[in-house]
Amino acid sequence: MILMAAVTGYVVGSIPTAGFIARLWGIDLRSQGSGNPGTTNALRTGGVFLAVSVLVVEAAKGYAAVLAANSTVEGWGAVAGGVAAVAGNVFNFWYGFSGGKGLGISLGVLLALWPWVLPPLVALIALAALVTRSAGLAALTAMAGLLVAAFVWPTRGWSTGGLVESGAELLFLATAMIALMGWKHWRDSRLNPAWRFARRTPV
């Protein structure tokens, strides 16, 4: 049943909503800007309204994926569905198992599973973005914060406010999401030597 919950999450998460919304603006996110079908590229190629639209719909998709998975198996099923939804976004079947970077959909996943962690994470990613001037480094900072929170939350006995409460579920959720999303954000950040070399090399 947990496998069914994961499959449900993946199918919902892989729906190419960002690309569909952008096409309503006459923009192909896969061939314009960075080529990433996500919020940051939507902002770069279509402006604030398109970016907000993509973010809201991606978050709603993540939330829906968790609810659909939870209706199959509560608890671990919801976690599996949320993680699989992020996997569906990052390794999207419709894009040849390529896809976005997972941040938009992860917002909806956390909103369903662990909403009380979102305020500190949003504050952290905003501060990191101001300091580093890099979306990739800001995202990596927020992921590190999520991992720390997964260790700290259960020891404090704090409520998650969502569908999961156990420390094992929170730790699995955080580590799995970071494993799925982190490599793309690292690849496109200043921490990656290959990225720095490409930026210095004339085209």
pLDDT at residue 146, rounded to an integer = 96
Looking at residue 55, what is its pLDDT? 92
Average pLDDT over every residue of 69-93: 92
- With 90 as the cut, is the pLDDT of residue 149 above it? yes
Rounded to whole angstroms, the Cα distance separating 52 from 122 reads 15
Reported as a pLDDT band with limits 50, 70 and 90, residue 62 is very high
Where is 3: in which H helix or E strand? helix 2-13
The CB density around residue 194, as the number of other CB atoms within 10 Å, is 8
> In the chain, pLDDT over 70 holds for what percent of residues?
90
| Separation between Cα atoms, residue 86 and residue 99, nearest integer Å | 10
Give the start-to-end residue ranges of the domains of the chain.
2-200
Q: What are the tens digits of pLDDT across the range 36-54?
A: 777 878 888 888 899 899 9
Return d(Cα 80, Cα 6) in angstroms, integer: 5
Q: pLDDT at position 34, please?
A: 72
pLDDT tens, position by position, 9-33? 999 999 998 888 888 888 888 888 7
Judge whether residue 66 has pLDDT over 70.
yes
Long-range interactions of 139-142: CB distance < 8 A, separation 24+:
139/101, 139/103, 139/181, 139/185, 140/182, 140/185, 140/186, 140/189, 140/191
State the amino acid at position 117 in one-letter form. V
| Gap between the Cα atoms of 32 and 78, Å rounded | 35
Share of the chain above pLDDT 90, in %: 53
Identify the pLDDT of residue 203.
36
| Widest distance between CA atoms in the chain | 54
Contact 194, 149 (CB under 8 A): no
